[in-house]
Structure 1
Amino acid sequence: MIEMKIERKKVSMQVFDRIKEMIQQEKMKPGDKLPTEKQLSEMFGVSRTPVREALSVLEASGLTTSKQGGGSVIQATSLSNLMEETQFEFVDPEEVLNLLETRIILETEAARLAAERRTPEELDEIKQNLDAIRLSQDENQIGYKEDIAFHNAIVKASHNPILNQTIEGVTNLYEKAIRFSLMKNMGISEKRAQVLSEHERIYAAISQGNGPKAKEEMQNHLSNARKKFEEELNQAANS
């Protein structure tokens, strides 16, 4: 194995990059198993926590998959993406910008309707998904599935089947956007706390039955996500 020590700055994302370099340098093939968490920790001179975070990012992006009994293996369909030199390797930037614009249009109104129409059971489902987001942060996971479930529960509570169908139609791209956005927050507690706070304010407005406030909070949350992505896009263009 190649020994590669790294600096302790955004450690999980540095580990993520080093694992990709290792795969390329060692010419690992689809189906090959990555070293264990413990082995990677020793190779990079870091604790197991950032290694676990990096492996979570790799799996969420589709580059690896968990193997029964422990460990991660390379996915055959992901090797071309793995070797790309762009920081937007998991998404089409232009498509994501369009998607986020569409989400702002649709989900702000969905939040307003959910505040006015949700049943006690639907409110409980939204709350459970919010709790799952909080737990994913505590366990240093990306939490993209929990984030998607939270938003989908709100759309469901709008009681508008056409709106539900429309959101389902962009699910694939939506998942990619969420993975990318949350992946950028890995290891940055302040940003993760901000996103959680935004979700909490959305839930609070829906719980209070305050439609205009729920719409406002969803607008703020999704606008921040779009702004963050545009900043990343500009940085990539200028680098």
Structure 2
Amino acid sequence: MFTRTPVPQSVARKLQTMILDGELKAGEKIPSQRELSERFGISRASLREALLTLETVGLVKTEAGRGTFVVGTSPSSSKTMAEWRYSQDYSLREVFETRFMLESEIAARAAGRLGREDLDLLARLTDDMERSWAGRDYLANVEADLHFHEIIARGCANRMLGELYGRVREQLTETQRQPIPITDPVRMQASVGEHRRLVAALERGDAEAARKAMADHVANTAACAGYSVGPAPA
């Protein structure tokens, strides 16, 4: 079934291409929102969402009173994570803790329930993550990661858990974008390996191994963002 790419995501990809191709250079101020919204034929609300996505993955940075500037695509120790956009509702730690509990249980209850087509897709998405990171296509990297986790949630045997994931999906998946600016190649390779171990456990139908693989993956992602999450102390 054909799924249309949301407008903000489509525009974010166009802007990323402009950055990768050097049309927009590191340190350069990007055109005004009015100019860009007219250029792409979109609303300013959609443009702001696209810019927010680019800022979360570390490609641009908005400075109050000055505008939005290109950060660039090369990994840098000076990069920092963007401001957590849901801070008025939940802390980033709380969302990582929720991911740790919810997604590990979802993975356990999806073990042995995914068909060959879904398992092969999980493997391809993991390869896409690795390839897009090498090509500095951070948006494609994140899109593959989001799709990977969504497939597992869709395969969960407990429908209520799957529905709970859907209700908080926006906050949960934002934690997959948040650490990108400070993720180094070593951590990304480790993340790819965690995905492959998880796929293997799901394919074997090993619920405990799937639970642990997902728990370890979320905990390691949280650690990359500077947070320690895990089971509640006894």
TM-score range, shorter chain: 0.5 to 0.7
Out of 29, 32, 37, which is 1:29 matched to?
32
TM-score by length of 1: 0.61
Of 132, 138, 144, 2:134 maps to: 138
Q: In the TM superposition, what whole-angstrom CA distance separates every residue of 1:161-197 from its partner, at most 9, and x where no partner exists?
A: 2222211112222332211122322xx2112111111
TM-score relative to the length of structure 2:
0.62
Equivalent residue in structure 1 for 2:165, among 164, 167, 191: 167
Aligned to 1:5: none
In the superposition, relative to structure 1, how do residues 166 and 16 fare at CA in structure 2: closer, same or farther (>3 Å)? farther
Q: Is the 8 A contact 1:156 1:164 kept in 2?
A: yes
2:82 alignment counterpart: 88
CA RMSD in angstroms comes to 3.4
Amino acid aligned to 2:180: L
- Deviation readout 1:30-50 (Å, 9 max, x if unpaired): 1446xxxxxxxxxxxxxxxxx
* Counterpart selection for 1:120 from 116, 121, 129: 116
Distance 1:32 1:79 in 2: 18
Change over 3 Å in CA distance of 1:80–1:223 after alignment to 2: same
For residues 55-92 of structure 1, the C-alpha deviation after alignment (integer angstroms, 9 at most, x for no partner) is xxx9574358xxxxxxx9x9xxx776967xx8532534
Shift of 1:119: 2.3
Give the match for residue 42 of structure 1. Answer: none
> 1:91 is matched by which residue type in structure 2?
R
* Structure 2 match to 1:49: none
Question: Quick check: 87-96 or 136-145, which moved more?
Answer: 87-96
Instruction: Name the amino acid aligned to 1:171.
Output: R
The amino acid that maps onto 1:118 is L
Which structure has more helix as a fraction of its residues?
A: 1
| Partner-residue secondary structure (3-state), 2:83 | coil
Which stretches in structure 1 are left out of the alignment for 5+ residues? 1-11, 34-57, 65-71, 233-239
User: Highest CA radius of gyration, 1 or 2?
Assistant: 1
State the match for 1:18 in structure 2: 27
For residues 194-227 of structure 1, give each alpha carbon's deviation from its aligned partner in whole angstroms, at most 9, with x where no partner exists. 1111111111111222111111111111111222
- C-alpha distance in 2 between matches for 1:117 and 1:228: 31
After superposition, give the CA deviation of every residue in 1:90-134 in whole Å (9 maximum; x if it has no partner).
534653211111111111111111113222233223223222222
Residues 16 and 182 of structure 1: CA distance in aligned 2, closer, same or farther (over 3 Å)? farther
- Tell me, which stretches of 5 or more residues in structure 2 are unaligned? 1-19, 37-48, 69-79, 229-234
| 2:85 counterpart SS class | coil
Aligned residues of 1:118 and 1:157 also touching (Cα < 8 A): yes
CA contact (8 A) 2:107 2:207 kept: yes
Aligned residues: 174
Change (3 A) 1:32 1:219: same
Q: 1:87–1:219: structure 2 CA closer, same or farther, 3 Å change rule?
A: closer
Please say if residues 148 and 178 of structure 1, whose CA atoms lie closer than 8 Å, have aligned partners that are also in contact.
Answer: yes
